[in-house]
Amino acid sequence: MSEPFPRSAVTRRCFLGSCAALTVAHPVLASPLLALNTADVKTMLAFVGTYTGAPGAGSNGEGIYAFDMNPVSGELSHRRLVAKTPSPSWLCVHPSGKYLYAANEVSDFRDGNGSVSAYRIDRSTGDLTALNVVGSEGADPCYLTLDAAGKYAFVANYAGGSIAVLPILGDGSLGAATDIRSDVSHLGATQAPSAPPGSYAISGHEAPHAHMIAPDPHHRFVLATDLAQDRIYTYGFDPTTGKLTPTADAPFTSLPSGDGPRHFAFHPNGRWLYSIQEEASTIVFFHFDPDTGSLRSQQTVSALPPGFTGTSFASEILLSPDGRFLYAANRLSNTIASFSIAVDGRLNLVNHTPTIGDYPAQLRLDPSANFLYACNRRSDNITCFRIDRQTGILSFTGHYTAVGSPGSITFLD
């Protein structure tokens, strides 16, 4: 997504202007992998959403691509364009495996809004059949997720500063929004006091910017981050009506002003939540109360390598399915932080691994959790890392996958 910005400021979305593209020149990090006969391995489908638009400006994709993913080696192969659609930057597969949904990060769909597209999946080929496209009820939708039952899609509109609930109909298509929420009552500081020395990460606090929305594991609440307001909002959710209701006791949780909460991830126990702050490049560990939806801060750590100075924008956060490890991506630093999770939920740094690519927009684990994929938007590739399940350490597999401006990757098991 492109946004106006002061020429004197370095912003997280300034890809080729004030931040020169980095040349990848890292040594090989992984130990030599044993040769494997993978000719007879059954592959699974992987879908990649990309940023489209003006080539050379961080928008070099053409839409949604399908790949075959080898579950033994992690390699992505046989790339094909399966949907030509504008900037499908975030993808979700329906719990049934029958449908794919894409947040189209644009602002020219209808009345200055973005859109969400629905597709039927051909599981044998990966081909997509368009079902319908609806408005996202805000400009530049940047995040999309579904409830566990596959009845609702939740979308966060970055430039529009709004969140919306979209019902999923019986044929997989999307209905008109059942609820839309926005809050313009507060804006945080221009610069994050928690950012590393020398940081000019000062974008994003001129207007509300909804960045993520997702239900909690107990399916009672929906949480949403607003980067500019430095808040995590908590709503009660009624699955019969698709309506959101601000919680009475704790309608939002504040982060340090200017830090810019971006994404969050729940621990498998459903009681711990980890939030990554884009402009401060920090991770905050919260206790989550499943009865009230409230959050209580327990720990704050940096996502950056020790001693890092200058500008970096943290992007993604995810946990291993067993709840033992947490991974966080840093753009400009172009590193992945690995943490172990203690018995009390606190984080302990394991190490930092170079992404072997430029500007990682998203991290995603494959369904087996043996591999981690980094979508490197500015270097037009996806890099694959093998995960040591005992230590959490990442090792580069040697697999680069060429794709223009990847925004997200998801799998059909």
Query: Does residue 19 have a pLDDT over 60?
Result: no
Cα 42 to Cα 24, 39, 69, 91, 124, distances in angstroms: 32, 9, 9, 23, 12
Q: Whose CA is closest to 60, among 399, 389, 397, 377? A: 377
Cα 84 to Cα 117, 128, 403, distances in angstroms: 11, 10, 14
Q: Sign of torsion, CA 162 375 354 327?
A: positive
Q: Sign of torsion, CA 81 106 233 407?
A: positive
In the sheet that holds 295-302, the strands lie side by side as: 261-266, 272-277, 282-288, 295-302
Whats the size of the chain, residue-wise? 413
Average pLDDT over the chain reads 91
The DSSP letter of residue 168 is B
For residue 11, name the pLDDT band (cuts at 50, 70, 90).
very low
Query: Does residue 35 have a pLDDT over 70?
Result: no
> What pLDDT score was predicted for residue 38?
55
Regarding pTM above 0.85, the answer is yes
For residue 99, name the pLDDT band (cuts at 50, 70, 90).
very high
In this structure, of 1-10, 65-74, 350-359, the range with the lowest mean pLDDT score is 1-10
For residue 39, name the pLDDT band (cuts at 50, 70, 90).
low
> What pLDDT score was predicted for residue 12?
40
> What pLDDT score was predicted for residue 41?
86
For residues 11 and 98, what is the distance between their CA atoms, to the nearest angstrom? 38
Structural domains in the chain plus CATH codes: 183-354 (2.130.10.10)
For residue 382, name the pLDDT band (cuts at 50, 70, 90).
very high
Query: Does residue 305 have a pLDDT over 50?
Result: yes
Q: What is the largest CA-CA distance in the chain?
A: 59
- Count of beta carbons in the 10 Å neighbourhood of residue 374: 32
What DSSP letter does each residue of 136-165 carry, written as one string? -SSSSEEEEEE-TTSSEEEEEETTTTEEEE
Query: Does residue 244 have a pLDDT over 50?
Result: yes
Find out whether 101 and 117 touch, Cβ atoms under 8 Å.
Answer: yes
For residues 143 and 27, what is the distance between their CA atoms, to the nearest angstrom? 33
pLDDT 10s digits, 388-413 = 999 999 999 999 999 999 999 999 98
pLDDT cut 70: percent of the chain above it: 91
For the chain, how far is it from start to end, CA to CA, in angstroms? 30
For residue 201, name the pLDDT band (cuts at 50, 70, 90).
confident
